Amino acid sequence: MVGREVRRPFLSEPRWVRMLLTTVALVFLASFLALPIAMVLAQALKKGFAFYLHALSEPDALSAIRLTLIVAGVTVPLNLLFGVAASWAITKFDFTGKKFLITLIDLPFSVSPVISGLIFVLLFGAQGRLGEWLGDHNIRIIFSVPGIILATVFVTFPFIARELIPLMQAQGNEEEYAAVTLGANGWQTFWKVTLPNIKWGLLYGVILCNARAMGEFGAVSVVSGHIRGLTNTIPLHVEILYNEYNFTAAFAVASILMLLAFVTLALKHWVEWRAAKDAASSEPGAETP
Amino acid sequence: MSIGIHQIVKKFGNFSALKGIDLNIETGELLALLGPSGSGKTTLLRVIAGLEEATSGQVFFLGDDVSRQKVSDRGVGFVFQHFALFRHMNVLDNIAFGLRVRPREQRPSEEKIKEKVHELLKLVRLDGLAPRFPSQLSGGQRQRVALARALAIEPKVLLLDEPFGSLDSKVRKELRQWLRRLHDRLHMTTIFVTHDQEEALEVADRVVVMNEGRIEQAGTPDEVYHKPANAFVYNFLGNVNLFHCRLEGGKAYIANTPVSIKVGVSPEAQKAKIYIRPHLLEISRFSQPDSFKGVIHFLNSAGSVAKVEVLSEWGEIVQVEVPQEQFRSLGLKKGETVFVTLKDAKLFHEDYAI
């Protein structure tokens, strides 16, 4: 049990230094976080609550919300599968090219999202070879929903794998070995031993992945083509409204993303708290006589 | 169940962990694999279990080649060094795991499983702890849960990797005597790995001493202790003093002190090493035939015997263990000059490298 730390006078700074640091931190937070949030809300509700609701229930806005949900609904399960498979492979097996795979997983983090989008435009767009073939067969990827999903999957795939790899490395393979000697097959070992041990890390990864999938702008903007009511996600819809000087509506739609951010934060906090609680109860040092 | 190990070689890249192991283990035997870290003892145990695949060679269970069989099909009970209990399951679920993962037609009813778990908990003397989680148990309790979990699948052979390695010395002494009694009751073929010679000699029917991927000697605790096959075994099974000596006319000379011991090496050898355990040296105040002179360098009489370090006339520290009674009657003090006699020593060729 970690008790509340006792303040040791000889280790703490003078009172005015503490006050100064706290003030700086608070002012910074207020001006860069609280103020914008208040602004978004104030702007969104400027023309009254009825207008706010109207801005959200207007067909184009509804279509953007629907598309964002579809994109996240497809992307997150795909990356969940990929993330678990990749971290399982990396932490439980030895194979050539393992280091290369780890580097590849990090790639979307190191590439600008706009470039990520451009890759898909070049790959599947009308000017590419593949694009010609796709055009002949009447398959649309760029400027349509599949392209948006592809770009989002690409941008968000490191989240879950990155979360799980260090966790699974720290846990080692002994419990899995034990399960196998007791007669469990690979599938049983995964469901009954591995998954329960990584569930909080996995959930944390899913939350981050979902937040990014819903909020992604750059890559999606390049591949979407901004067709109103068809290929606009929430962030793109906000941009269009803003560019049309429809500020109140833009802020109203933006407030949905803000709400998502709050929900994500709360969930993230809850998962961390649960994981810490679980970790504390399975601490090897905690012994009863 | 008898186990046959035939020419097992295991390589990790360029490193040979096992260099051709041959060993037969009788049904119902309690065998210790003893050796320093890196001797290959754990690798051998994992090869027997199937957790590690041998580079070449075969493992036989009751005469059947199981080398290509999967771990889950071999029916071995394996107890891991750090127990590897499932941390998210309580004791009951941990022990029941092996029964619950069986295919439906072989799986006992949930009632039978619970009955079996409680039987096992009684056997390992942990009744009443079924709802606890591994984190709520002490090291010794976790060890016994791990053992009960391995026994639940009614294995044909029980394999234990450093079973008492991570426990404190008092608990490990209790547990190893308990393991011996348990084995006498169950008569299951059991192999355990240890680096603690005392543990191996005390618990096992037969001890296999390993070093650098090879078996140095296999025999009863008596045999390996009293008739060591080579210097390594003698050295590993207890504290020793090492003297380099010259052989001449059937006598051994340490520095220029002649020592009369039976020369067991070939007569043309010129140099040999004498190994002698600290309790086989005798201290006296007066010169004896074949004794050497020294100065007392360090004394420690806490323990069952008094430990005395003597700085010999050729400048090496020699460890001597003196019974407490004799220690008191001699009244030894630091800095005093004494004479040391060799009561029994082992002679090995100089060229044997440890």
Q: Which domains does chain B have, with CATH numbers?
A: 3-236 (3.40.50.300), 241-353 (2.40.50.140)
Which residue in chain A is spatially nearest to B93 when comparing CA positions?
A192
What pLDDT, in 10s, does the model give residues A43-79? 888 888 888 888 888 888 899 999 999 999 999 999 9
For chain B, strand residue ranges (E) read 3-12, 15-25, 30-34, 56-61, 64-65, 76-79, 157-161, 189-194, 206-211, 214-219, 241-248, 251-254, 257-259, 271-276, 281-284, 291-300, 305-312, 317-323, 337-342, 346-349
Model confidence at B265, pLDDT cuts 50, 70, 90, reads low
pLDDT reading at A249 higher than 70? yes
C-alpha A80/C-alpha A209 separation (Å) is 9
**A185 and B101: CB-CB below 8 Å?**
yes
* Average pLDDT of span B7-27: 93
* A285 pLDDT higher than 50: no
pLDDT confidence band for B262 (50 / 70 / 90):
low
Instruction: Answer yes or no: is pLDDT of A279 > 90.
Output: no
Q: Give the ipTM of the model, two decimals please.
A: 0.81
pLDDT at site B263:
56
What average pLDDT does the segment A181-203 reach? Answer: 91
pLDDT higher than threshold 60 for residue B352: no
Nearest CA-CA distance, residue B126 and chain A, Å: 13
Six-digit token pair at B165? Answer: 């390695």
Tell me the shortest Cα–Cα distance from A289 to chain B, in angstroms: 7
- Give the chain A residue nearest B84 (alpha carbons): A175
pLDDT score of B269 more than 80: no
Q: How far is B282 from chain A (nearest CA, A)?
A: 45
Residue B49 to residue A181, Cβ atoms within 8 A = yes
Smallest Cα distance from A160 to chain B, Å:
22
Question: Are A178 and B86 within 8 A, CB to CB?
Answer: yes
Mean pLDDT of A234-248: 90
Nearest to A183 among B51, B88, B98 (CB): B98
* Interface touch A197/B88, C-beta < 8 Å: yes
* Per-residue confidence (pLDDT) for residue A288, from 0 to 100: 39
The angle at the Cα of A59, spanning A57 to A61, to the nearest 5 degrees, equals 65
Bridge partners of residue A61, in order along the sequence? none
Asked if A196's CB is within 8 angstroms of B97's CB, the reply is no
In this predicted model, what pLDDT tens digit does every residue of A85-111 receive, in sequence order? Answer: 999 889 888 888 888 988 888 888 888
Average pLDDT value for residue range B77-82: 92
Question: pLDDT at position B346, please?
Answer: 77
User: Which pLDDT belongs to residue B271?
Assistant: 78
Burial category of B150 from C-beta neighbours within 10 Å (exposed 0-12, middle 13-18, buried 19 and up)? buried
Average pLDDT rounded to a whole number, residues B235-240: 88
The nearest alpha carbon in chain B to A174 belongs to B84
Distance (Å) from the alpha carbon of B137 to chain A's nearest alpha carbon: 6
CA dist., res. A73 & res. B123, Å (int): 52
Q: Which residue of B has its CA nearest to A180?
A: B72
Please, what is the average pLDDT of chain A?
A: 86
A184–B97 CB contact, under 8 Å: yes
Chain A CB contacts of B150 under 8 Å are 181-182
pLDDT in tens, B141-162: 999 999 999 999 999 899 999 9
In sequence order, the 6+-apart residues with CB closer than 8 A to the CB of B276 are B240, B241, B243, B342, B344, B345, B346
Per-residue pLDDT of A1-41, as tens digits, reads 444 555 566 677 788 888 999 999 999 998 988 898 888 88
Please give the distance of CA A267 from its chain centroid, rounded to a whole number.
Answer: 12
For chain B, give the mean pLDDT: 88
Instruction: Write the residue in A174, A188, A286 that is nearest to B135 by C-beta.
Output: A286
Q: Which positions in chain B touch A178 (Cβ < 8 Å)? A: 78, 80, 84-86, 149
Q: Which residues from B are below 8 Å from A when comparing CB atoms?
A: 49, 51, 71-72, 75-78, 80, 82, 84-88, 97-98, 101-102, 133-139, 149-150, 152-153
B138/A182 CB distance under 8 A: no
- Is residue B90's pLDDT more than 90? yes
Task: Write out pLDDT tens, residues B295-350.
Answer: 999 999 888 899 999 998 888 899 999 999 988 888 888 888 999 888 777 777 66
Provide the shortest C-alpha distance from residue A3 to chain B (in Å).
Answer: 20
Which pLDDT score, from 0 to 100, does residue A273 have?
87
CA–CA separation, A186 and B304 (whole Å): 53
Among chain A residues, CA nearest to B85: A175
Q: What percent of chain A has pLDDT over 90?
A: 31
Query: Could you tell me which chain A residue has the CA closest to the CA of B81?
Result: A174
Give the global pTM: 0.78
* pLDDT tier at B354, thresholds 50, 70, 90: very low
CA distance A6 to chain B (A): 28
